[in-house]
Amino acid sequence: MGGFLDGTYPESAEFVLKSTVEAEASTTKQEYVMNYDYIMWRRSDRLLRGWIVGTLSEEVLGLVVGLKTSAAVWKALSEYFARNTKDREFFLMQKMHLHSKQNYKTIKDYIKGFKEICDELDAIGKSMEDQ
């Protein structure tokens, strides 16, 4: 399903040109017909889009209303959360720099607070190993 989201499994043409040879008249008849691959692609894409949209809160749902494909929904969500991730990373890095053992009664509490910040950074894909 990842191919739908990142565009590596692109949308097929909705119609394809079908050629039919008419033996009696020695002519070729051409007409556009619905593409079966498009029908299957569209069905799978709608299912995936429904799964994604079904997991969203009302607050975030407004970002994707009217988007027609799962790739468009995924891109909108990625861009929205990427901005929030940068803000969150900045906040957590400030919190890390201000983290002081003088604010804690025991070394255990100090280490616990430090680990919580590290875990939050890791949750947004910015582990302390990256720093």
Between CA 93 and CA 130 the distance in angstroms is 12
Average pLDDT, the chain: 87
Report which of residues 52 and 123 the model is more confident about: 52
Would you say residue 108 lies in a domain?
no
| Per-residue confidence (pLDDT) for residue 38, from 0 to 100 | 94
| Per-residue confidence (pLDDT) for residue 131, from 0 to 100 | 56
Would you say residue 43 lies in a domain?
yes
| Per-residue confidence (pLDDT) for residue 40, from 0 to 100 | 95
Between CA 1 and CA 51 the distance in angstroms is 11
| Per-residue confidence (pLDDT) for residue 82, from 0 to 100 | 75
Q: What is the pLDDT of residues 31-79, one digit of tens each?
A: 999 999 999 999 999 999 999 999 999 988 999 999 999 999 999 998 8
Would you say residue 34 lies in a domain?
yes
Would you say residue 36 lies in a domain?
yes
- Tell me 23's DSSP state: T
Between CA 92 and CA 70 the distance in angstroms is 31
Q: How many CB atoms lie within 10 A of CB 48?
A: 19
Q: What is the pTM of this model?
A: 0.61
Between CA 44 and CA 46 the distance in angstroms is 5
Number of domains in the chain: 1
Would you say residue 100 lies in a domain?
no
Between CA 58 and CA 64 the distance in angstroms is 11
Instruction: State the pLDDT confidence band at 130, using cuts at 50, 70 and 90.
Output: low
Residue range(s) defining the domain that contains residue 74: 2-79
Would you say residue 64 lies in a domain?
yes
| Per-residue confidence (pLDDT) for residue 47, from 0 to 100 | 96
DSSP for 48-79 reads HHHHHHHT--HHHHTTTTT--SHHHHHHHHHH
Q: What is the pLDDT of residues 1-38, one digit of tens each?
A: 778 888 888 888 999 999 888 777 778 888 999 999 99
Would you say residue 118 lies in a domain?
no
| Per-residue confidence (pLDDT) for residue 8, from 0 to 100 | 86
Would you say residue 51 lies in a domain?
yes
